Structure formats: C-alpha cells, structure tokens
C-alpha cells in the first residue's frame, strides 16, 4: 500500500503480475543499497483469506516462485515472513508450501516472536527447514495466541493492535526483556547447527523505550550469543554472523 494503491494478494492469481512488478522494484532498490534479501509478507491474515487448501497453497507457491525468480535476477533472494496471524503458522501449511516452491526460488524469514506467539518453537522451525532459512529476526514475545484468535476477521486490528479478548497490551518486546518467552540461546544454537551465515536482525516492535531496547539487545548478543558463536568455531561448526540493527 506504500504507493497508495489497493493491496495485492498472493492468493489471487490476477494479482501475481502486480506483486512481481512491485517486488522487482523493491529488489532493485535493495541491490543498489547493497542488500541481499527481500523479506515479503507470505499471506494475508488467516481470518481474511479463507480456507487454505491445496489449491490456495498452489497459488501461493506460483506467486512466490515467480517473485523469487524475478528478484534473483537482480541478485536478491526472497524470504517469506510468517507472522502469527498467517495461516502458514500451521506447520502442515508451511511444510507443504515450501515443498511446492523450488529450493532456489524462495526461502523463509524466521521471526522468533511471531512463531512463538503462534505456539511454534522457532528453533524447531530452523531445524526442520535448514536449507530454507535465509533471514532471521530476533524479537521477543510476551504472550501466546493459544485461543486461536488469529482466525478472527480483521485480526490485524482487533488482535494484533488492540490485544484481542485478553487485551494484551504488548505482544512483542526487545530480545531479552523481562517475561520474554523466546529462548534465544536455543535459537542461536539451532542456527549454528545448520551452518547459517546470513543476517540476524535485532528487532523491537514497537518499543516504548528505544534506547533501553537497544541496550538489552546488545547485552544479549555480547554476553550470551557471541560466546556460543566463538565456541562453535572452536568445535568446527559453521561460522554464524550476527548483525544488530
């Protein structure tokens, strides 16, 4: 919607050409800026896109395969971001979609908070799809959507922004925040185990105190995560690079 036109859906076949065109535009900008991965929202919210059956997964695969091939021509890989409102939070749906998409066409952007709120273990996601992890976002989660409110229509506003029936004041927090549910040490170990060498972005969405969030993320990286990386190099594992943003 950044260009003030109606949003396009990867579930609508007629929208595919427009999505490819927009993705190519963003990828060209990324290439000029020295970027390497275009992170794209994989689906609309589950409550707004209807049942995800084999036909719908096929349309998703066709769309993102086309996008990935187009951006790769510019040297940019496409990674699909799965948020906690997405129907892809269901493991069977995500597994099937990645099976339908060529391994070189599109990968997965793992957002630790989104998967945790969806009731999934991000470390398990990483180990389940070792060759498809192309981008990682470190973010903490303060609650889990155990009641399945992601299926509510317009959940982007009623659940994500307004907190749903429980009126969750803040779903997300900076990595390492008090009450955080993400095991970042476990996630980092999973990344080391699969030999991940891409970007890890520290994200705070949204932060009431940006400076504090930055300090907490920095502390986590320096005191807990970098020692894991150093130990993995000594033990002969693949080298993982952690980059803060």
| Mean pLDDT confidence for 120-142 | 97
| Mean pLDDT confidence for 37-52 | 93
Predicted local distance difference test score (pLDDT) of residue 120: 97
The candidate with the shortest Cα–Cα distance to 213, out of 170, 183, 166, 167, is 170
- Checking if the pLDDT of 160 tops 70, the result is yes
Q: How many CB atoms lie within 10 A of CB 129?
A: 17
Predicted local distance difference test score (pLDDT) of residue 243: 47
Q: Domains of the chain by range and CATH?
A: 13-235 (3.20.20.150)
Which pLDDT band holds residue 6 (cuts at 50, 70, 90)? confident
Residue 92 to residue 21: CA distance in whole angstroms: 30
Residue 84 to residue 181: CA distance in whole angstroms: 14
Q: What is the pLDDT of residues 72-90, one digit of tens each?
A: 999 999 999 999 999 999 9
Predicted local distance difference test score (pLDDT) of residue 122: 98
Which pLDDT band holds residue 237 (cuts at 50, 70, 90)? low
Inter-axis angle of helices 91-100 and 54-72, nearest 10: 50
Give me the percent of the chain exceeding a pLDDT of 90.
Answer: 80
- Among 7-16, 91-100, 185-194, 233-242, which is the least confidently predicted range? 233-242
Q: What is the pLDDT of residues 204-224, one digit of tens each?
A: 777 888 898 889 899 999 999
The candidate with the shortest Cα–Cα distance to 140, out of 185, 90, 184, 192, is 184
Predicted local distance difference test score (pLDDT) of residue 242: 44
Residue 145 to residue 153: CA distance in whole angstroms: 15
- Checking if the pLDDT of 234 tops 90, the result is no
Predicted local distance difference test score (pLDDT) of residue 244: 42
Higher pLDDT: 161 or 176? It is 161
Look up tokens 């427009």; give the residue.
Answer: 18
Q: What is the mean pLDDT of the chain?
A: 92
Q: Strand locations in the chain, DSSP E?
A: 37-41, 77-81, 107-111, 133-138, 140-141, 172-173, 200-202
3-state helix, strand, coil in the chain (%, to 5): 50, 10, 40
């Amino acid at each position: 919607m950044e260009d003030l036109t109606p949003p396009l859906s990867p579930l609508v076949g007629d929208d595919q050409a427009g999505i490819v065109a927009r993705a190519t535009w963003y990828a060209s900008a990324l290439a000029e800026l020295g970027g390497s991965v275009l992170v794209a929202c994989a689906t609309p919210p589950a409550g707004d896109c209807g049942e995800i059956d084999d036909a719908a997964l096929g349309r998703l695969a066709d769309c993102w395969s086309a996008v990935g091939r187009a951006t790769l021509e510019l040297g940019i890989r496409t990674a699909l971001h799965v948020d906690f409102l997405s129907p892809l939070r269901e493991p069977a749906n995500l597994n099937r979609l990645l099976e339908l998409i060529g391994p070189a066409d599109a990968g997965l952007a793992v957002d630790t908070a989104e998967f945790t709120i969806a009731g999934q273990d991000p470390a398990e996601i990483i180990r389940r799809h070792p060759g498809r992890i192309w981008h990682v976002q470190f973010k903490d989660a303060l609650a889990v959507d155990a009641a399945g409110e992601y299926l509510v229509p317009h959940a982007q506003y009623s659940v994500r922004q307004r907190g749903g029936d429980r009126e969750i004041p803040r779903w997300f927090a900076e990595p390492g925040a008090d009450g955080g549910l993400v095991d970042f040490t476990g996630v980092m170990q999973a990344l080391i185990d699969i030999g991940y060498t891409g970007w890890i972005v520290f994200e705070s969405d949204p932060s009431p105190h940006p400076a504090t969030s930055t300090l907490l993320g920095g502390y986590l990286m320096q005191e807990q995560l970098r020692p894991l990386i150093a130990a993995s190099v000594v033990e002969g594992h693949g080298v993982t690079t952690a980059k803060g943003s």
